[in-house]
């Protein structure tokens, strides 16, 4: 499996005013934009074709992964070889960034449909770039493995507080006691249920490995929660046709589309940073003792 769809057309209203003139995916977590973390996660899991479903205001994302001739020439002339390595080695040479536009905010399902001409007949992954996983996460690769063994689509979930379930897609695995890294058959999947109507507290956290048939189903998916075409609703139909599984994440996830989630991620990623972590920890301990 080579193709991963990353929807980036959203306008980031939860993060205004920061996102007034820059894409939310370009907000920096310590020293890299958020999009770089998810693209690197996909590459580590073996994906090579990164399909961005994008918007006119998001050109900075494509520029970030492109060769910057002027910057490279300047760095070369100044002999700044360490910076050249940082700027030029973001992607391996066999990786492709491919972009296609989403003409309007019609939902995640619609965003995936926009990528259909590039996905073709292949099975594929979807990564939601608001959700950042800890840097050494191997969940995506494990989900591909689980898909190859079971031939059932894999949807990453994690438990959330019951008061929070209305913000997520929520799955029903008939009370299966999943251990992290395990998958179980789903019997229902609902998008943004009311807190007291949710089938469980297992929330979908932005990583999907999908059977290509979901594309055909998306074509017939009616508008759902929020009046949008929901990927969750198409996966629920796919589940009826040929089964689908929830995969319990082994990673720590951060909702970086949300200001508090982003702040938590910033502190944790800064503490783990190979060059900055130690001094940052010392400073935190001294300043907030």
**Residues in contact with ligand G1P by the rule CB under 6 A:** 108, 128, 130-131, 168-169, 191, 203-206, 232
Least distance between ligand G1P and beta carbon 8 (Å) = 12
Least distance between ligand G1P and beta carbon 250 (Å) = 17
Q: Indicate if the alpha-carbon torsion angle 82, 85, 90, 92 is positive or negative.
A: negative
Which is nearer to ligand G1P, 51 or 108 (by Cβ)? 108
Least distance between ligand G1P and beta carbon 116 (Å) = 18
Cα(111)–Cα(94) distance, rounded to whole angstroms?
A: 25
Q: What are the strands, taking DSSP E only, across the chain?
A: 3-7, 28-29, 32-33, 49-54, 96-101, 124-127, 131-133, 153-159, 169-172, 183-185, 188-191, 202-210, 244-248, 253-255
Shortest-Cβ-distance residue relative to ligand G1P: 169
Least distance between ligand G1P and beta carbon 242 (Å) = 20
Which is nearer to ligand G1P, 75 or 102 (by Cβ)? 102
Least distance between ligand G1P and beta carbon 180 (Å) = 18
The 3-class secondary structure across 65-123, one letter per residue, is HCCCHHHHHHHHHCCCHHHHHHHHCCCCCCCEEEEEECCCCCCHHHHHHHCHHHHCCCC
Which is nearer to ligand G1P, 183 or 205 (by Cβ)? 205
> 65 with 17: CB under 8 angstroms?
no
Least distance between ligand G1P and beta carbon 266 (Å) = 18
Which is nearer to ligand G1P, 25 or 75 (by Cβ)? 25
Beta bridge partners of 124: 210
**Kind of pairing between the strands at 3-7 and 124-127:** parallel
Which is nearer to ligand G1P, 45 or 155 (by Cβ)? 155
Which is nearer to ligand G1P, 41 or 130 (by Cβ)? 130
Cα(31)–Cα(105) distance, rounded to whole angstroms?
A: 30
Cα(78)–Cα(276) distance, rounded to whole angstroms?
A: 25
Which is nearer to ligand G1P, 75 or 234 (by Cβ)? 234
Least distance between ligand G1P and beta carbon 272 (Å) = 22
């Amino acid at each position: 499996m080579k193709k991963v769809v990353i929807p980036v057309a959203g306008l980031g209203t939860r993060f205004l005013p920061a996102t007034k003139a820059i894409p939310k995916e370009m907000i920096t977590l310590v020293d890299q934009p958020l999009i770089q973390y998810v693209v690197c996660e996909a590459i580590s899991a073996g994906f090579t074709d990164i399909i961005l479903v994008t918007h006119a205001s998001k050109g900075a994302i494509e520029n970030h992964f492109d060769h910057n001739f002027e910057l490279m020439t300047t760095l070369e002339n100044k002999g700044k070889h360490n910076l050249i390595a940082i700027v030029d080695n973001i992607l391996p040479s066999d990786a492709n960034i491919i972009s296609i536009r989403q003409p309007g905010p019609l939902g995640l399902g619609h965003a995936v449909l926009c990528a259909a001409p590039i996905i073709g007949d292949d099975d594929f992954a979807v990564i939601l770039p608001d959700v950042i996983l800890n840097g050494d996460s191997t969940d995506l690769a494990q989900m591909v493995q689980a898909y190859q063994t079971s031939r059932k689509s894999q949807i990453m979930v994690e438990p959330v507080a019951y008061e929070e379930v209305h913000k997520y897609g929520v799955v029903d695995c008939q009370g299966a006691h999943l251990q992290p890294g395990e998958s179980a058959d789903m019997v229902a999947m609902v998008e943004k249920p009311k807190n007291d109507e949710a089938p469980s507290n297992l929330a979908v956290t932005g990583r999907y490995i999908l059977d290509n048939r979901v594309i055909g189903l998306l074509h017939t998916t009616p508008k759902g929660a929020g009046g949008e075409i929901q990927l969750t609703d198409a996966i629920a139909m796919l589940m009826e046709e040929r089964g689908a599984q929830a995969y319990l994440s082994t990673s720590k996830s951060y909702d970086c589309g949300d200001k508090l989630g982003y702040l938590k991620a910033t502190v944790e990623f800064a503490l783990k940073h190979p060059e900055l972590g130690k001094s940052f920890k010392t400073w935190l301990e001294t300043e907030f003792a």
